[in-house]
Amino acid sequence: MKTETPTYVQFTQEMKKDYTILIPNMLPMHFKLIMSFMSTYGYHLELLEKSGPEIAETGLRYTHNDTCYPAILVIGQFMDALNSGKYNPDKVALIMFQTGGGCRASNYISLIRKALKNAGYSQVPVISFSLAGIEHHPGFKLTLPQISGMLSAVFYADLLMSLVNQCRTYEDVPGSAQTLADKWTSKLGQELGRGGKISLRHARQNCKDIISDFKSLPMTSRAAVKVGIVGEIFVKYSPLGNNNLEQFLVGEGAQVVVPGLIDFCLYCVYNGIEDHTLYGGSVLKNIGYRIAYKYLNHRREKISRLLQKSGRFEGYTPFDKVVALTRGYISNGAKMGEGWLLTAEMLELYNSGVKNIVCTQPFGCLPNHICGKGMMRPIKEHCPGANIVAIDYDAGATKVNQENRLKLMLANADV
């Protein structure tokens, strides 16, 4: 049987030896941990952390201005790095994460390749990172131990992110929570590495030790407004995408509450189960989704119980309850633009006592606006005291205007 020749530049085994793989900045803590872990398998990875308006301006030079804002930023970061002269175009590759869903994000790879071609970098490989196997790259094949290690990294990073957010507003030494998180990120990345410790028993002990370390940080209890952050996945997490939203809110004396990345993973798995309920399909595939959903829920709940037992930190809302909160608001069949999860996260925050919510909305994502901004009115009608503000992020929006709207929200917030 004849094998078709790929129409894209593949990342080969030979490239793995001396190529640097550039990663766009979405989840700094998560990606740094995953990078540390993957480096033990011989990959040379670098996270692009440059920010500022020039990134969006660069992105707009290489893609249409009707493209969604996250795509403009991702392309801008890649092209800014390649144009900087810091990297040899013949020894560098780019990586982009794809879920394969009905979103412009599924077209990011082709948009990036078009930008590379227009800039004269058509030889640069673009790796499609997808568990669905959308593309084939011989030099970037994920084994079961690697997938397991990455999954553990996400659980650890979610825990660290939650603890940093629950500490930094109250820490006596500014930056101490982030410093501790960085220390654990380095330790865990190497520990999870090739042939490392990824057993559930060891992970549980690590989580206990992490929580204990954060609990021992010098902190002073004070009244602080809790502010939840939801929205499109890139602008919700990326400091580049949301103009350092978390840093701004902490600077205003607020405690930030951000749902974890594993919640998005559970959402994706649950959608597979819901699709079978709505449309039928493979029974074996449905069983696989249900096993994955149960496993992820089990690990998430174990970490949540450890947080609650600490007597200092809050755990996670059970994901089954998060799913149930959408009843009467939105169908679980709505899954574009973060779909029902976006509505569910606003309701979950409100029900857990976080009534002040920032809904981050990027230009060019209509489904996200519908499931976010479009659901604010019914949520406010049924949730007394809900203080929700939608903040638009696009290349033409000014940081001053965004921060003024946030200050107005905080002025109306109850502690």
Q: Are 402 and 393 in contact (CB under 8 A)?
A: yes
Find the mean pLDDT for residues 366-374. 85
CATH code reported for the domain at 13-142: 3.40.50
Q: Indicate the pLDDT class of residue 132, thresholds 50, 70 and 90.
A: low
Determine the pLDDT at residue 46.
95
User: Does residue 246 register a pLDDT over 60?
Assistant: yes
Which residues in 55-85 are b (16+ Cβ under 10 Å) and which e?
A: bbebbeebbeeebbbbbbbbbbbbbbbbeee
Determine the pLDDT at residue 100.
61
Going from N- to C-terminal start, the domains of the chain cover: 13-142, 143-222, 225-411
Determine the pLDDT at residue 274.
93
Which residues in 381-407 are b (16+ Cβ under 10 Å) and which e?
A: eebeebbbbbbbbebebeeeebbeebe
Instruction: State the Cα–Cα distance between residues 172 and 45, nearest whole angstrom.
Output: 34
pLDDT tens for each residue of 85-124: 999 999 999 998 876 666 666 778 889 999 999 999 999 9
Q: Are 389 and 230 in contact (CB under 8 A)?
A: no
Find the mean pLDDT for residues 379-404. 91
Q: What rounded mean pLDDT belongs to the chain?
A: 91
CA terminus-to-terminus distance, the chain: 67
Determine the pLDDT at residue 168.
96
C-alpha dihedral, 196 to 199 to 203 to 209, nearest 10°: -70
Determine the pLDDT at residue 2.
45
pLDDT tens for each residue of 173-185: 999 999 999 999 9
High-pLDDT (> 90) share of the chain, %: 69
pLDDT tens for each residue of 150-194: 899 999 999 999 999 999 999 999 999 999 999 999 899 888 876
